[in-house]
């Protein structure tokens, strides 16, 4: 048997250049291995130790470059069942060590081939520990990576707009409505960047009609749903006033449940405001306290913005992040509506918070 081919030795040298001029060296892979190739976006780090495919196919990462803190990525390959959307939404990825070959009975292929086929690439061999420490101190920032010269990459990094005041929802929402699920309740789900695992968690409770993000509230109510779900999604909620207005028209008319961006839009519709976090919450190990019981949930998170702490008219805070005190959940006191900032569907991540889907079902049943 011939020895395994070391594809890393054949990869071209590449650079990761941050907008502040910090440079990291490595090797290009995937769609970035061509001469003078460049990818750019807002650079964030994610702390999951597994579930890289779910992260890369989460539409909430549109416009971003993801750096994994876990050193070995790609070791169990990819499987079609693990994708959270039809294609990766990330601009590129940054890793310490990209596995040469997958080792899993579930694997349909290897990560590099999966990304290359979809026009996505990245850089390996990066000191991701040093990179993460830098981002924690300096905050998330734009970057460029590839095989182009350093000066060209710096120009690309500084020209990148990032996610602030960017409507990225329009780039990932479904173009047409579709149905899924087989439960007895009826739910209309706004697709701001929907993850498939969320739909699988709602499916036992409801028949779900997923609609485009821009669907007017009047058309949603014409469908006579038992409840409306507000999904996760990318970008800055402050740029989505047109969506906030439609959520406001649903308040009090039908039970609402929001996750991630849906949580932020619900909070804004109630009169709250949002702000950009220094480096965001991205990972599968964030502790959140459920204030009603004192229980601590370990949660999966992916967001760069949060609701401002303070009075939100007609709502109370239900959950808080124990790392930094960020508001992680709210519930309305006068109308049937609640939301959480984190991801109870846990794709990937722990399942501590999946009770929230049953809570939504009970809320709908109580208001039928």
Active site residues: 260, 343, 345
Residue 8 CB: number of other CB atoms within 10 A? 13
Cα gap 300→26, rounded to integer Å: 29
Nearest to 52 by CA among 30, 25, 71: 71
DSSP states of 242-268? HHHHHHHHHTTTS-EEEETHHHHHHHH
* Buried-state track 301-328, b at ≥16 Cβ within 10 A, e below 16: bbbbbbbeeeebebbebbbbbeeeebbb
* C-alpha span between 354 and 343 (Å, rounded): 9
CA 29, 30, 36, 37 dihedral sign is negative
Question: What distance in Å separates the CA atoms of residue 120 and residue 147, rounded to the nearest whole number?
Answer: 14
**Complete DSSP assignment for 43-54:** EEEE--SS-HHH
Q: Are 333 and 222 contacting, i.e. CB atoms less than 8 angstroms apart?
A: no
């Amino acid at each position: 048997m011939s020895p395994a081919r070391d594809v890393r030795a054949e990869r071209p040298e590449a650079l990761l250049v941050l907008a502040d001029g910090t440079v990291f060296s490595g090797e290009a892979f995937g769609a970035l291995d061509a001469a003078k190739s460049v990818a750019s976006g807002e650079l964030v780090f994610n702390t999951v130790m597994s579930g890289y495919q779910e992260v890369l196919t989460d539409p909430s990462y549109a416009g971003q470059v993801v750096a994994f803190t876990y050193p070995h990525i790609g070791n169990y390959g990819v499987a079609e069942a693990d994708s959270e959307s039809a294609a990766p939404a990330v601009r590129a990825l940054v890793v310490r060590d990209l596995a040469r070959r997958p080792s899993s009975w579930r694997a349909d292929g290897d990560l590099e081939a999966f990304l290359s086929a979809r026009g996505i690439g990245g850089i390996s061999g990066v000191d991701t520990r040093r990179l993460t420490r830098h981002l924690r101190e300096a905050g998330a920032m734009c970057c460029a990576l590839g095989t182009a010269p350093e000066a060209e990459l710096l120009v690309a990094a500084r020209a990148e707009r990032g996610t602030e005041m960017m409507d990225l929802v329009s780039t990932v929402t479904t173009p047409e409505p579709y149905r899924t699920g087989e439960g007895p309740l009826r739910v209309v789900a706004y697709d701001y960047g929907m993850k498939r695992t969320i739909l699988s968690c709602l499916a036992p409770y409801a028949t779900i009609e997923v609609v485009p993000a821009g669907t007017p509230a009047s058309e949603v109510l014409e469908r006579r749903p038992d409840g409306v779900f507000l999904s996760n999604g990318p970008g800055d909620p402050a740029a989505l006033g047109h969506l906030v207005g439609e959520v406001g028209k649903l308040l009090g008319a039908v039970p609402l449940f929001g996750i991630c961006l849906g949580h932020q839009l619900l909070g804004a519709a109630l009169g709250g405001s949002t702000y950009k976090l220094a480096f965001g919450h991205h990972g599968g190990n964030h502790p959140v306290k459920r204030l009603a019981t004192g229980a601590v949930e370990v949660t999966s998170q992916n967001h760069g913005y949060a609701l401002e702490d303070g009075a939100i008219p007609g709502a109370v805070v239900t959950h808080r992040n124990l790392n930094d005190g960020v508001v992680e959940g709210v519930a309305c006191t006068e109308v049937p509506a609640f939301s959480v900032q984190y991801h109870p569907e846990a794709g990937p991540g722990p399942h501590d918070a999946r009770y929230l889907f049953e809570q939504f079902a009970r809320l709908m049943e109580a208001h039928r």
